[in-house]
């Protein structure tokens, strides 16, 4: 069991959830406020996507990221910023002509995926460590080995720690390969992302299997989506890991009751303390992750 737990709050995500929750953070001001709320509740890390303020759809506009980051930093609230680099790998394959991309596709090269990170220099950023079918239909997320190696090398040169996102066992295999190739500085940081169709399922057996494959000295967190979010908080702690909650992964506090990010963090804190552990501060999290505050 892990007695000292880093809580990450993923405050908004980029999925089509803007019409499912009336208070989902969409504008930079709302996303920044959600980050501050989560930090006040006990999150040491906030994981940040941005959205087009006009449509609510996920975006990779560097100006939107800049406004969120500036607002959080100006607030005086100490929290570790973790910017996603998963945008720019969305591929919708045409059913009749698989060589053609359908609307909704957004495919860019490795350095374009990192443009906002290069400019804003957060303490953490994510690397989605593989491609996968993303739900039913013809949607894929595409992150090739060549792209990921280029991104890892650039992030390392910038002095930013990557959080390696693992959606299935093959992703973990490649993430460890990047560690072996010297592209990832220690201690390596892994996020086990469970329950996203059609990646690794969110259950005890899968999380335990992935944890058993982690390299020595790794720092890791794990989460499950939707109604399994809080059971996976408990499971991650019991297996020795850290946790992630937030509206990116789950919109509900309980059945039929929509949540805020702060409420989800509060619930995670209650689970952590009930298990005899405690949430750590941003300063303590930096020490565990080997970060120097920017």
pLDDT (0 to 100) of residue 283: 97
pLDDT band at 134 (very low <50, low <70, confident <90, very high): confident
Q: Which two tokens stand for residue 16?
A: 């089509």
Q: Which domains does the chain possess? A: 4-289 (3.20.20.70)
Where residue 43 falls (left for φ over 0; alpha for ψ -120 to 50; beta otherwise) is beta
The whole-number average pLDDT for the span 111-129 is 97
124-138, 142-156, 228-242: range with lowest mean pLDDT: 124-138
pLDDT tens readout for residues 91-105: 999 999 998 999 999
Peptide bond into 198 cis (omega under 30): yes
Residues 205, 206, 210: CA angle, nearest 5 degrees: 120
pLDDT (0 to 100) of residue 293: 57
- Cβ atoms within 10 Å of 150's Cβ, excluding its own: 17
CB 162 within 8 A of CB 184: yes
Residues 153, 159, 164: CA angle, nearest 5 degrees: 60
pLDDT tens readout for residues 32-48: 999 999 999 999 999 99
pLDDT tens readout for residues 203-218: 999 999 999 999 999 9
For residue 243, give Cα distances in angstroms to 33, 261, 266.
21, 14, 13
4-23: b (≥16 Cβ within 10 Å) or e: ebbbbbbbbbbbebbeebee
Picking from 291, 17, 5, 4, the residue whose alpha carbon sits closest to that of residue 161 is 291
Distance CA 89, CA 109 (A): 9
């Amino acid at each position: 069991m892990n007695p000292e737990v880093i809580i990450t709050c993923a405050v908004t995500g980029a999925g089509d959830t803007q019409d499912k929750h009336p208070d989902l953070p969409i504008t930079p001001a709302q996303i920044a406020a959600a980050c501050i709320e989560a930090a006040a509740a006990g999150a040491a890390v906030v994981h940040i996507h941005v959205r087009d303020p006009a449509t609510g759809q996920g975006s990779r506009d560097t100006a939107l990221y800049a406004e969120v980051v500036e607002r959080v930093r100006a607030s005086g609230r100490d929290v570790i910023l973790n910017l996603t680099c998963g945008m720019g790998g969305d591929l919708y394959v045409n059913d009749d002509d698989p060589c053609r991309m359908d609307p909704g596709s957004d495919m860019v090269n490795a350095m374009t995926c990192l443009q906002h990170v290069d400019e804003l220099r957060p303490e953490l950023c994510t690397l989605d460590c593989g491609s996968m079918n993303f739900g039913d239909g013809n949607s894929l997320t595409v992150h090739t080995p060549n792209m990921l190696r280029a991104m890892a090398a650039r992030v390392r040169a910038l002095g930013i720690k990557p959080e390696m996102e693992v959606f299935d066992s093959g992703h973990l295999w490649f993430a460890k390969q990047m560690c072996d190739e010297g592209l990832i500085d220690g201690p390596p940081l892994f996020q086990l992302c469970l329950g996203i169709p059609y990646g690794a399922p969110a259950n005890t057996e899968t999380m335990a299997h992935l944890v058993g494959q982690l390299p020595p000295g790794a720092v890791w967190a794990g989460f499950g989506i939707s109604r399994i979010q809080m059971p996976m908080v408990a499971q991650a702690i019991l297996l020795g890991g850290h946790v992630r909650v937030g509206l990116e992964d789950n919109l509900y506090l309980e059945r039929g009751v929509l949540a805020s990010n702060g409420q989800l963090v509060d619930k995670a804190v209650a689970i952590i303390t009930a298990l005899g552990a405690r949430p750590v501060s941003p300063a303590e999290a930096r020490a565990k992750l080997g970060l120097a505050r920017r």
